[in-house]
Structure 1
């Protein structure tokens, strides 16, 4: 009797085990559906989107910074330069690192009086785009491996970071003055001071210099920006927006004094390499008459004007008939807003 009362239950049959498994899966699916329909506050993806959308003040600072840095970078590169501020991201640090291709330059900066360090991360695309623009190159990225940068690469990184910190400090000046102070540079994410699971606020930027592109990002921990959360979640005050408009006007006026090379393609001469190798001084290359009445004028490879060719006062001339790039009109004094 004793042994029968405490005997172990017999194991379930295969049919019973399958039935129990189906019941457990059904319960799990119902629970997941209820969570999705109720908008659970623990939905991390939804929370990241909402928090990112609420940082309106930081978005406007990023736009201001992008304009200031664009002007400084154009002065250094002397090439067509564009910088765009992408959408702010809030995610674990490990997710950001997983998308970062080595060799990357990770620069730790202290933005006084904010607590903690801020990370300025340069992708290989930005570093080698700037390097090729300044010193020439083929624009091909090196092997994807963590390594130390060469002295020439470090000089380019230092120059970029110096201009970037100056522009970033100026972008914050009227809202909450910051004093950027460089600490150190790393090539491995293990030594940046951020933990894998730490939630970070990422401001990504895309840079285009000529025909090449690169990216960089500014990374804060949530704890660093927490004291400024209320300020950064609102649009910037009106006087700061007016300052940005004045800055755009000043930039447009300064750009009017920039010297550009205007190239009009009159004809193309397709030749084989063997023909080019036998050319000598005095050889004549026949230029066919264009089969079209209009020529396109380019600035740094970008089409800007469309016109007809002819002569004026004994010189070849191009009559402008159509402006392809309407952005040129924005540099005219009559089109500059004085609001």
Structure 2
């Protein structure tokens, strides 16, 4: 009869108890938490840039149809902030990465054409259907590269045109890369502003992207991060402001000569010493507005007063037109006068 009863060890095994069972339980390992992956995608936050792209797609749609008449609609899908690496790994290969400088901003931005868009454009341009080719990981051919170049230049031309209503910029295509490793405009962990758009070609929608460093637009953050980018101007206030500016008085000063002396020479100066300025009648002198050199001028005389005739602009400012004489009272080397805003 003793054989019919279970031992204590057998009972513990059946019930899942016992010290041996507890010892065999494995503790889950604690994995490190990567804080860099938190908030890797943030939509919105740049309303001014969104408004600018809304206006751009309308201009771009008309221009791109001259190159590809089959283009139906161009849509700005979304604007979001993410990390550069997280964005780049989502772009299927092959892809076209155009590195573009945007003066006066210091950073470059990327204009990215998805391979599906390139292949569909080529297909319809040669009478084929609006369907992408089989990619199979190959690189773009010379013909495809030529089409990419045409698409990029139309895009940048229209993009620069739209910016003129907001802030004067000059776009320059630095290079078109096919290797994403050569298109790193920022470090992988830095945040970028991504503008995702789609182009409809005979019913087939293909994506393309703009990628801007987040700090690129900090000098004009009041515009880019504002919802009043294209707000209607008040003509009454604008006219009032113009009148105020034109009545603003500024100080003009003419630099006749500039010389360097040592401290020993200055300490040896005495009453009656004279200095040769080496200035001739035809020399170009700098005319300052407040503390900034703005014009090249020639020294002259009008009746009993010294005068400076503006002959050109410094650093390409203005259009280089000749100007009227700016009179200065007295006979000091650095005469001053009064001027108002407007053409000189």
| Pairwise TM-score range, normalised by the shorter structure | 0.5 to 0.7
Contact 1:129 1:213 in 2 (8 A): no
In structure 2, the partner of 1:112 is 103
SS state of the match for residue 220, structure 1?
strand
TM-score (norm 2): 0.55
Larger radius of gyration: 2
SS state of the match for residue 232, structure 2?
helix
Residue segments in structure 2 that go unaligned for 5+ positions in a row? 1-18, 234-344
In structure 2, the partner of 1:218 is 210
Take 1:42 and 1:186, find their aligned partners in 2: how far apart are those partners?
A: 28
Contact 2:84 2:189 in 1 (8 A): yes
* 1:56-205 equivalence runs, <5 A: 56-138=47-129, 139-145=131-137, 147=139, 149-194=140-185, 195-205=187-197
Take 1:189 and 1:43, find their aligned partners in 2: how far apart are those partners?
A: 21
Structure 1 pair 133/44, CA: closer, same or farther in 2 (3 Å)? same
Contact 1:103 1:144 in 2 (8 A): no
Structure 1 pair 13/79, CA: closer, same or farther in 2 (3 Å)? same
Contact 1:101 1:144 in 2 (8 A): no
Structure 1 pair 79/116, CA: closer, same or farther in 2 (3 Å)? same
Structure 1 pair 80/186, CA: closer, same or farther in 2 (3 Å)? closer
In structure 1, the partner of 2:288 is none
Per-residue deviation, residues 16-46 of structure 1 (Å, max 9, x unmatched): 8969x58x98xx9xxx9xxxxxxxx98832x
Contact 2:120 2:201 in 1 (8 A): yes
RMSD of Structure 2 on Structure 1 (CA): 2.8
Once the two structures are TM-superposed, the CA of residue 48 in structure 1 deviates from its matched residue by 4.1
Contact 1:124 1:141 in 2 (8 A): no
Once the two structures are TM-superposed, the CA of residue 203 in structure 1 deviates from its matched residue by 0.5
| Structure in which a larger fraction of residues adopt strand | 2
Structure 1 pair 111/17, CA: closer, same or farther in 2 (3 Å)? farther
TM-score (norm 1): 0.56
| Structure in which a larger fraction of residues adopt helix | 1
1:209 and 2:201 are equivalent in the alignment: yes
SS state of the match for residue 218, structure 1?
strand
Pairs aligned (count): 210
